Amino acid sequence: MAVTKKKSTAANETNLRHVWLAGLGLLALTRREALATVRRAIGGVDALKQRAERTVTEAQANVRDGIETVRGQVEPKVAQFSAEVESRLAPVLVKLGLKPRVKAQRKTHKTTTKKAIRRTPARKPAKRATRKARS
Protein backbone atom coordinates (compact mmCIF):
# COMPACT_ATOMS: atom_id res chain seq x y z
CA MET A 1 0.00 0.00 0.00
CA ALA A 2 1.22 3.30 -0.90
CA VAL A 3 1.05 6.09 1.63
CA THR A 4 -0.67 9.07 0.15
CA LYS A 5 -0.09 12.52 1.41
CA LYS A 6 -3.16 14.13 3.04
CA LYS A 7 -4.40 17.33 1.53
CA SER A 8 -4.58 20.26 3.96
CA THR A 9 -8.11 21.32 4.67
CA ALA A 10 -9.44 24.78 3.97
CA ALA A 11 -10.56 25.10 7.62
CA ASN A 12 -7.14 26.32 8.68
CA GLU A 13 -7.03 29.03 6.09
CA THR A 14 -8.68 32.40 6.67
CA ASN A 15 -10.89 33.48 3.86
CA LEU A 16 -13.35 36.31 3.23
CA ARG A 17 -16.27 34.42 4.79
CA HIS A 18 -14.40 34.03 8.07
CA VAL A 19 -13.64 37.76 8.16
CA TRP A 20 -17.31 38.54 7.44
CA LEU A 21 -18.56 36.28 10.26
CA ALA A 22 -16.01 37.67 12.71
CA GLY A 23 -17.14 41.20 11.83
CA LEU A 24 -20.78 40.29 12.44
CA GLY A 25 -19.89 38.75 15.80
CA LEU A 26 -17.91 41.83 16.76
CA LEU A 27 -20.82 44.07 15.74
CA ALA A 28 -23.29 42.03 17.82
CA LEU A 29 -21.03 42.14 20.91
CA THR A 30 -20.44 45.88 20.51
CA ARG A 31 -24.18 46.55 20.24
CA ARG A 32 -24.96 44.42 23.30
CA GLU A 33 -22.27 46.15 25.38
CA ALA A 34 -23.40 49.60 24.24
CA LEU A 35 -26.98 48.88 25.31
CA ALA A 36 -25.78 47.50 28.64
CA THR A 37 -23.66 50.61 29.19
CA VAL A 38 -26.64 52.87 28.47
CA ARG A 39 -28.79 50.87 30.91
CA ARG A 40 -26.11 51.16 33.61
CA ALA A 41 -25.81 54.91 32.99
CA ILE A 42 -29.57 55.40 33.25
CA GLY A 43 -29.60 53.36 36.46
CA GLY A 44 -26.82 55.55 37.84
CA VAL A 45 -28.71 58.71 36.95
CA ASP A 46 -31.87 57.38 38.60
CA ALA A 47 -29.93 56.47 41.74
CA LEU A 48 -28.33 59.92 41.79
CA LYS A 49 -31.75 61.57 41.37
CA GLN A 50 -33.21 59.54 44.25
CA ARG A 51 -30.24 60.39 46.44
CA ALA A 52 -30.61 64.09 45.62
CA GLU A 53 -34.35 64.02 46.38
CA ARG A 54 -33.69 62.26 49.68
CA THR A 55 -31.03 64.84 50.59
CA VAL A 56 -33.37 67.73 49.77
CA THR A 57 -36.17 66.18 51.82
CA GLU A 58 -33.85 65.70 54.79
CA ALA A 59 -32.60 69.29 54.48
CA GLN A 60 -36.17 70.61 54.43
CA ALA A 61 -37.03 68.57 57.51
CA ASN A 62 -33.94 69.87 59.32
CA VAL A 63 -34.79 73.48 58.46
CA ARG A 64 -38.39 73.05 59.58
CA ASP A 65 -37.30 71.47 62.86
CA GLY A 66 -34.85 74.32 63.40
CA ILE A 67 -37.53 76.92 62.72
CA GLU A 68 -39.95 75.21 65.11
CA THR A 69 -37.25 75.12 67.78
CA VAL A 70 -36.46 78.80 67.33
CA ARG A 71 -40.16 79.68 67.27
CA GLY A 72 -40.69 77.74 70.48
CA GLN A 73 -37.90 79.71 72.14
CA VAL A 74 -38.75 83.14 70.71
CA GLU A 75 -42.54 83.27 71.03
CA PRO A 76 -42.63 83.01 74.84
CA LYS A 77 -39.97 85.71 75.15
CA VAL A 78 -41.83 88.01 72.76
CA ALA A 79 -45.06 87.47 74.68
CA GLN A 80 -43.25 88.14 77.96
CA PHE A 81 -41.63 91.30 76.55
CA SER A 82 -44.97 92.50 75.18
CA ALA A 83 -46.69 91.92 78.52
CA GLU A 84 -43.91 93.74 80.33
CA VAL A 85 -44.13 96.75 77.99
CA GLU A 86 -47.90 96.89 78.33
CA SER A 87 -47.72 96.65 82.11
CA ARG A 88 -45.20 99.50 82.24
CA LEU A 89 -47.22 101.65 79.87
CA ALA A 90 -50.54 101.03 81.62
CA PRO A 91 -50.00 103.71 84.32
CA VAL A 92 -48.91 106.24 81.70
CA LEU A 93 -51.99 105.54 79.61
CA VAL A 94 -54.23 105.92 82.69
CA LYS A 95 -52.63 109.30 83.47
CA LEU A 96 -53.25 110.42 79.90
CA GLY A 97 -56.87 109.36 80.18
CA LEU A 98 -56.58 106.50 77.72
CA LYS A 99 -57.75 103.01 78.46
CA PRO A 100 -55.20 100.30 77.83
CA ARG A 101 -56.37 97.76 75.28
CA VAL A 102 -56.96 94.29 76.54
CA LYS A 103 -55.91 91.77 73.96
CA ALA A 104 -56.57 88.09 74.10
CA GLN A 105 -53.23 86.41 73.74
CA ARG A 106 -53.14 83.94 70.92
CA LYS A 107 -51.79 80.53 71.73
CA THR A 108 -50.49 79.53 68.32
CA HIS A 109 -49.73 81.20 65.07
CA LYS A 110 -52.63 82.05 62.81
CA THR A 111 -53.55 79.68 60.10
CA THR A 112 -54.73 80.99 56.81
CA THR A 113 -58.28 80.29 55.90
CA LYS A 114 -59.33 79.28 52.46
CA LYS A 115 -61.28 81.82 50.54
CA ALA A 116 -64.63 80.63 49.37
CA ILE A 117 -64.67 79.91 45.69
CA ARG A 118 -67.50 81.73 44.03
CA ARG A 119 -69.05 79.54 41.44
CA THR A 120 -71.14 81.02 38.71
CA PRO A 121 -74.37 79.19 38.02
CA ALA A 122 -74.49 77.25 34.80
CA ARG A 123 -76.09 79.22 32.02
CA LYS A 124 -79.25 77.92 30.56
CA PRO A 125 -79.28 77.86 26.78
CA ALA A 126 -81.25 80.72 25.32
CA LYS A 127 -84.60 79.81 23.90
CA ARG A 128 -84.71 80.18 20.17
CA ALA A 129 -87.60 81.90 18.65
CA THR A 130 -89.39 79.66 16.25
CA ARG A 131 -90.03 81.09 12.84
CA LYS A 132 -93.44 80.98 11.44
CA ALA A 133 -93.63 79.27 8.12
CA ARG A 134 -94.81 81.47 5.33
CA SER A 135 -97.83 80.26 3.56
Residue-wise pLDDT tens for the chain (135 aa)? 566 666 666 567 889 999 999 999 999 999 999 999 999 999 999 999 999 999 999 999 999 999 999 988 899 899 999 999 988 888 888 888 877 666 666 666 566 666 666 666 666 666 666 666 665
pTM over 0.75: no
Instruction: Return the pLDDT at 109.
Output: 59
CA–chain centroid gap for 125, Å, is 44
Alpha-carbon separation of residue 104 from 83, 88, 110 (angstroms):
11, 18, 13
Give CA–CA dist 74/110, Å, rounded: 16
106 near 76, Cβ under 8 Å?
Answer: no
The pair phi, psi for residue 3, each rounded to 5°, is -85, 125
Determine how many CB atoms are found less than 10 A away from the CB of residue 104. 5
Instruction: Return the pLDDT at 105.
Output: 63
Instruction: Return the pLDDT at 93.
Output: 84
Instruction: Return the pLDDT at 102.
Output: 64
Instruction: Return the pLDDT at 64.
Output: 92
Determine how many CB atoms are found less than 10 A away from the CB of residue 113. 6
Give CA–CA dist 45/39, Å, rounded: 10
